[in-house]
């Protein structure tokens, strides 16, 4: 398996020059685009890694999976999905067009920015600090890492340049979807996206999802099985932005990407995978990370289809 991971990294590195780090968030544009790493956490709790697996990066949209779990645990499915839909959009993750053209006017799913911002407004708490502390505690529990925290420079960079997200938040506030004050919800969202992790952390998250909410390290149930399955379904249909269909055909694993360069994947019953490669394609997905996962899916026959 170690040789396979090394070969996957070597294969993926041949493609990183075709992408570049996210430039619309200034702090993300500073990352070395040639980094590429992977960690796999197997169902027996063993972990294998290769490449730049210990480099820190921010979760960005990968964090949407954990926020969704917490909101579902806080509010229940009926409440959450009355405000946010369950369908893929076929549009970019930060697009506003569907909000203007569909009725009722609500985000189509929790994996696009408008849906994720709405989800954050449903997390229970007295104020932003209470909500974020609940969210980061949940992250830490799932990842078995009590040192997780957000990167303040990335947070401030996102907050200063998040004009499109402010437009989305104000739009869904006007249509009655977003709860609370727009700027407080956005601050929570930017902090969530700025949580700093490495490949091992998201491999752990993927492994817990792969095992229907059970930690492969402790055997403890961390996420209700039905919620774990809902999240994996969204990962298949919406997890790779508007490239989710192609990814399902070429890789066939539930996965969620982020513009920080991470991809978290869950192979049901087998393993969690964490990949990091900051060079992105035009859809906002790690170009090297996708190639690594394509290689592994072929070599290990991982497709769920």
Q: Torsion angle, CA of 75/78/82/87, rounded to 10 degrees?
A: 110
Tokens, residue 249: 């055909």
List 61, 95, 157, 194, catalytic entry: 61
- Name the catalytic one among 80, 154, 259, 292: 259
Q: Whose structure tokens read 């727009």? A: 182
Choosing from 64, 98, 131, 173, the catalytic residue is 64
Of 63, 232, 241, 291, the active-site residue reads 241
User: Using CA atoms, how far apart are residues 271 and 47, in angstroms rounded to an integer?
Assistant: 9
Please identify which of the residues 157, 189, 215, 228 carries the catalytic annotation. 189
Length of the chain: 305
Nearest C-alpha neighbor of 273 from the set 292, 301, 260: 292
Is 95 an active-site residue?
no
23: annotated active-site residue: no
Is 189 assigned a catalytic role?
yes
CA 124/CA 188 separation, integer angstroms = 12
Burial 173-211 (b: 16+ CB within 10 A, else e): bebebbebebeebbbbbbbbbbbbbbbbbbbbbbbbbbb
Q: Which residues have a catalytic role annotated?
A: 61, 64, 189, 241, 259
């Amino acid at each position: 398996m170690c040789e396979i991971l090394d070969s996957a990294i070597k294969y993926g590195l041949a493609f990183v020059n075709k992408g570049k780090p996210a430039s619309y968030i200034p702090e993300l544009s500073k990352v070395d685009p040639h980094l590429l790493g992977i960690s796999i956490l197997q169902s027996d709790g063993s972990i294998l890694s290769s490449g730049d697996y210990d480099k820190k990066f921010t979760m960005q949209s990968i964090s949407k999976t954990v926020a969704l779990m917490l909101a579902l645990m806080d509010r229940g499915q009926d409440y959450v999905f009355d405000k946010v839909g369950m369908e893929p959009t076929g549009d970019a993750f930060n697009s506003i067009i569907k909000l203007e053209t569909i009725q009722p006017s609500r985000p189509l799913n929790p994996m696009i920015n408008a849906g994720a911002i709405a989800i954050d407004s449903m997390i229970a708490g007295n104020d932003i600090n209470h909500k974020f502390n609940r969210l980061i505690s949940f992250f830490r529990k799932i990842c078995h890492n009590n040192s997780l925290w957000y990167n303040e420079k990335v947070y401030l960079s996102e907050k200063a340049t998040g004009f499109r997200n402010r437009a989305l938040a104000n739009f869904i506030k006007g249509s009655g979807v977003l709860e609370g004050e727009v700027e407080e919800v956005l601050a929570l969202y930017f902090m969530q996206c700025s949580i700093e992790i490495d490949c091992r952390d998201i491999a752990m998250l993927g492994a817990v999802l792969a095992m229907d909410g059970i930690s492969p390290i402790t055997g403890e149930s961390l996420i209700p099985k039905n919620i774990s399955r809902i999240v994996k379904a969204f990962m298949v249909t919406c997890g790779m932005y508007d490239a989710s269909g192609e990814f399902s055909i070429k890789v066939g694993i539930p996965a969620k990407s982020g513009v920080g360069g991470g991809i978290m994947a869950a192979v049901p019953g087998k393993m969690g995978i964490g990949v990091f490669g900051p060079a992105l394609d035009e859809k906002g997905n790690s170009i090297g990370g996708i190639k690594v996962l394509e290689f592994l899916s072929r070599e290990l026959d991982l497709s769920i289809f």
